[in-house]
Structure 1
Amino acid sequence: MHEAALSGDQPPARPRTVIEQSWGRVARHGVDPDRGGDAVPLPAEEVEQRRRASGLADVLSVLRGGLVSVADEASHIMVVVDAEGRVLWRDGSASVRRRADGLGFVEGASWDEDTVGTNAIGTALVVRQPVQVYSAEHYVRTHHAWTCAAAPVHDPKDGTLLGAIDVSGPAPSVHPSTLALVDAVARLAEAQLRTAHHAELERLRTVASPMLARIDGPVLVTDPHGWVAAVAGLPPVNRVLVPERIADGQTWLPSVGPCTAEPLPGGWLLRPVPDDGAPVTRVVLDLRERTQWTLNVSGASGQWEHKLSPRHAEILFLLASNRAGYRAPELAGGLFGDAGRTVTVRAEMSRLRRHLGGVLEHRPYRFSDRVELIVRRPADPADLLPFSTAPAVLASR
């Protein structure tokens, strides 16, 4: 199948969908199937900087505890990469590490699809799902002697992709349980990050409590990601959308309106102020990147840019593609190929509308007729939300 795909011949069978789509992406991006790209490793100082900035150092003990002993005994190595696919740490079998050195699979090397073609690490970062790649499923021929299984790790604070963990080794050592183990350890790491975040919110709540007792009127206390530690005079919510930067002590929140913002250790104290009623006038849905998507909302009162989760990026793209809107069964069909999954659709739309008041309408679900909507797509249609298997997205590609 691999040779037929490269030569343009009719393959004897079709590869798995995730592999077939990845082969198509890397072929369009010009990856050399014989040697891959120029994966020049970063210098040690930059690797160390990336380790500190990755958000993964705090869970490294969990990753090592769950995978290193297994990898070592099975003649595999455990690899941790950042969101760009740069190798940050390697552990496990010394003999396999030496073999990996021959491929350039070393600390600081880039292991994304555009550099080394289809592989578990780079492909998992694109599709945002656990992936196992075996032997000739790798696009580059020099990797056919390997098997690898990788799972992405996300920051539970805001859903940001932090990177991925991987177990790799000689192809004959492949085991069907490896992918499940890697995915389980990735979820365990996310759970530890979530626990640490809850502790941060509790500390913020303790700091803010005396201040709330002295304030009249509505007030919110949030961490930098908008998670609410305390609220008074407003309906209780778990999270509001706050901008990454707040200047001059003023901000505007789509779900609250204009606010004054006072910095707290580890967050913000937000106090709503009278709204002039100016509506949202412009929405920009930016889908040009393969692993990060944003929604920019602006009006006379201010501007807001929000990073989208994969699911919300899919939903907003569908709504942007049909300004007349969708009933819940229609939206479920476009997302899942199953018009009966209306409960999931209604729950996701409820979350979106709670954050994006004035932008989204319901009955049917749609972008408001009052806003100017701009959709920025990737130059290559095949790069549109490459993680997505939604029937409507596949048709748009």
Structure 2
Amino acid sequence: MASAELWSRRREIESARAAGRAIDPVIDGSWQRCKPMLPASRAHAPVDAEPDEVGERWEASPIRRSGIGVEAQLASAAEASDLIAAITDEEGRILWTAGSTRMRDLAAAVGFVPGGRWDEASAGTNALGLALLTGRPASVFSAEHWCQSVQDWVCWSVPVRAPDGRRLGVLDLSGKWDRASPVAALAVASLARLVEEHLPSGVVAPGAEDGLTLRLLGQAGATFRGQALALSPRQSELLAALALEGPCSLDRLSELVYGDRQVRAATVKAEISHLRRLLGGGIASRPYRLTVPVRVDVTELRQMLRDGDLRGATLTYAGQMLPNSESPFAVDHRHVVDVMLREALLSAGSADELLRFAEVHRYDEAVLERAMAVAAAHPAARHEAEARLDLARRG
């Protein structure tokens, strides 16, 4: 049974739909693209591939070949919340699904099956299509979907990207709108990250540049050429400093990472030499700089905020940047990211987004008070905010 909060959210979105403008600017942009090319009355997504072709595509998919048992993990997450799981290729074509018989029957009625096309041009506004289009996590709730046939659904999707930035496909959990829960978003985001860390070698397209991916929010990690790098905390800090600060002299790099601590130049050079070997020579000197393309979640989150994608930024925020680091540059960037996201949420965040931020910042009374105010018409969220605020004040 849907909570009062979900009913209220659905009515709010339906009112916005009737007025012709979405509340979320990302959704609204998708609606504007869909208007001239796709009737909202489309009953089901096109299914344009035979089972044999879909099977061959799935066998070749780098997502399947990541070797982490992605099917079992995603299926388990779907079963736990009465959802359906799906994985697409780079074009938005579903290659694999899992779910209960009931959910698979419901999904089949709208073309949410292997071979179904869920890119935006084929199926309108939906989380799978948005994740592929933007390269960012996406969620679409109820009447935010363009096509009326799926306006009883909620979907959470996260793109899986190659080290060179190409989208390889999407991991998705979907279900009826009354099953909406932040747990599903966290599960699919965590699994997509794990897949990216274990992509098979040779994923980068011929002629494409190899890239470095740094995850600095929450639990730090790095991949290069699709392979996870084993880094010490100090090595993570050095790579992060080069990625976020740009070219640095030896003295400047030491200052950014070590601060006032006395450290021998030879120590820093040795760490850089080790990192250079890990990156196949991808660090130049005089000044020190990365010579391979690099993606950093911190940079992407900031860009999402500049673009007005508050939902994407909140989903990307897996925790504070390098939370245990005392390096001066890390302290500064951590503060900037936290303040940027916090201020945006206090200004325009939903109750769910504010509460997600409060999972990391448990004693931020202003955020919890704002969540209570925003959730005035949503009893479940308001009660959660009240309980957390009480704990924060007692702490």
Q: TM-score, normalised by structure 1?
A: 0.48
Structure showing greater relative contact order (alpha-carbon pairs closer than 8 Å, 6 or more residues apart): 2
Q: Give the number of the structure whose residues are more often strand, by fraction.
A: 1
Q: Give the number of the structure whose residues are more often helix, by fraction.
A: 2
